[in-house]
C-alpha cells in the first residue's frame, strides 16, 4: 500500500490530471481521481486505483506538468499489483502551436517484476486541434532509460544474466479530449509507442481511454480503460495487461 500512501500525500500537498492542458493560460490546474472495488466471500478481491495530475505555470514561458497514477490489487489477500507511474514535463512556450519540453518518468510494476524504472530526455509537441470543445496533440521525444528488475531471465534471451537494462528509446505520443452532448460528457484518451533505438523488438505501448460526466462543482463520475503491452518481460510474466475501473474525480482550476 505504500504507493497509495504516496499519492494521498501528494494530494493533500496539492503538488500534482491526465488530460490537463499545459497550453492553457491558467496559473494552476489539478485533477484527482480514485476508483476501486472490494469483494469478499467465495471471491476475495481488492482493487484501488488513483490518479493525481497537475499543471503549474512557473513563469511567463515555463510550465510544469505532472501526471501520477497508482494501482493496487490483491486476491485472497495475496498481492497481485502494487504499481506507481509518474510522468513529469517542463514545457517552454506551450501556448505556441509547436513547443519543446523536457521529460522525466519514474515507475514500478509489481506484476512485471519492475522494481524501479526511470528515464529522462527531451522532445516536442504540436497542437493539431485546439478549440473550445476539442484538443488533439501529437508529440515525439528521445529518452535514456534504466529498468531494474527482480529477475535476470527474460523472454528475449539477449538480456539474460542482468537484472538491469539500460537503453535509448524514442516515443510517439498522441493525446486528446472532447466535450460531447453540450458538455455533459468528456471523452479523453492518450496512447504512446516506445521502441528501443538499438533493438526495435524491445518496445512498449500504452492506451488509455476514459469518459467523465460532471456532477457538481468540479466533482465528476469517471470510467477509465487502460491497456499496456511490454514486449520484453521477465520469464513467467505476461506481456499485455488491461484494466477497466470506475470512480470519482475532482478538478480544480485557478487563474492566479
| pLDDT at res. 219 | 86
> How many CB atoms are located within 10 Å of the residue 48 CB?
22
Rounded to whole angstroms, the Cα distance separating 69 from 56 reads 18
Q: What is the mean pLDDT of residues 225-229?
A: 92
Helix (H, G, I), strand (E, B) or coil at 5: helix
Q: Which of 75-84, 101-110, 163-172 has the lowest mean pLDDT?
A: 75-84
| pLDDT at res. 10 | 36
On the question of pLDDT at 230 being above 80, the answer is yes
Rounded to whole angstroms, the Cα distance separating 205 from 213 reads 27
Domain ranges, residue 145: 2-254
Identify which of 41-50, 143-152, 239-248 has the greatest average pLDDT: 143-152
Rounded to whole angstroms, the Cα distance separating 38 from 148 reads 31
Q: Which of 15-24, 71-80, 151-160 has the lowest mean pLDDT?
A: 15-24
C-alpha cell at position 130: 485546439
Q: Which of 14-23, 85-94, 193-202 has the lowest mean pLDDT?
A: 14-23
Angle (nearest 5°) at CA 81 between 15 and 7: 10
Smallest CA-to-CA distance from 237 within 165, 149, 168 is with: 149
Contact 112, 84 (CB under 8 A): no
On the question of pLDDT at 83 being above 60, the answer is yes
Read off the pLDDT of residues 2-17 as tens digits, 9 standing for 90 and up: 444 443 333 333 333 3
Read off the pLDDT of residues 140-193 as tens digits, 9 standing for 90 and up: 999 999 999 999 999 999 999 999 999 999 999 999 999 998 888 999 999 999
Q: What percent of the chain has pLDDT over 90?
A: 51
Distances (CA, A) of 195 to 24, 29, 200: 30, 31, 5
CATH number of the domain residue 39 falls in: 2.40.160.40
Instruction: Name the pTM for this structure.
Output: 0.79
What residues are paired with 40 via a beta bridge? none
The secondary structure element, H or E, covering residue 201 is none
C-alpha cell at position 93: 512556450
How many domains does one find in the chain?
1
- pLDDT tier, 19 (very low <50, low <70, confident <90, very high otherwise): low
Q: What is the mean pLDDT of residues 104-112?
A: 91
Amino acid at each position: 500500500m505504500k504507493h497509495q500512501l504516496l499519492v494521498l500525500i501528494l494530494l493533500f500537498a496539492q503538488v500534482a490530471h491526465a488530460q490537463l492542458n499545459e497550453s492553457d493560460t491558467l496559473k494552476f490546474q489539478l485533477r484527482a481521481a480514485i476508483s476501486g472495488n472490494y469483494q469478499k466471500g467465495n471471491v476475495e478481491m481488492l482493487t484501488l486505483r488513483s490518479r493525481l495530475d497537475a499543471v503549474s505555470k512557473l513563469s511567463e514561458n515555463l510550465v510544469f506538468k505532472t501526471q501520477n497514477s497508482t494501482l493496487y490489487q490483491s486476491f485472497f489477500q495475496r498481492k497481485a499489483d502494487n504499481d506507481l507511474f509518474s510522468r513529469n514535463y517542463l514545457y517552454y512556450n506551450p501556448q505556441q502551436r509547436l513547443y519543446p519540453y523536457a521529460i522525466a518518468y519514474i515507475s514500478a510494476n509489481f506484476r512485471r517484476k519492475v522494481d524501479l524504472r526511470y528515464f529522462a530526455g527531451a522532445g516536442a509537441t504540436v497542437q493539431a486541434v485546439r478549440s473550445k470543445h476539442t484538443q488533439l496533440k501529437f508529440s515525439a521525444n528521445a529518452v535514456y532509460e534504466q529498468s531494474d528488475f527482480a529477475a535476470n531471465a527474460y523472454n528475449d534471451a539477449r538480456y539474460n544474466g542482468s537484472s538491469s537494462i539500460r537503453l535509448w528509446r524514442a516515443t510517439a505520443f498522441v493525446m486528446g479530449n472532447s466535450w460531447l452532448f453540450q458538455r455533459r460528457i468528456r471523452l479523453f484518451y492518450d496512447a504512446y509507442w516506445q521502441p528501443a533505438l538499438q533493438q526495435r523488438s524491445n518496445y512498449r505501448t500504452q492506451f488509455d481511454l476514459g469518459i467523465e460526466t460532471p456532477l457538481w462543482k468540479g466533482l465528476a463520475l469517471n470510467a477509465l480503460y487502460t491497456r499496456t503491452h511490454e514486449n520484453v518481460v521477465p520469464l513467467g510474466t505476461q506481456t499485455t495487461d488491461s484494466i477497466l475501473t470506475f470512480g470519482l474525480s475532482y478538478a480544480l482550476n485557478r487563474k492566479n
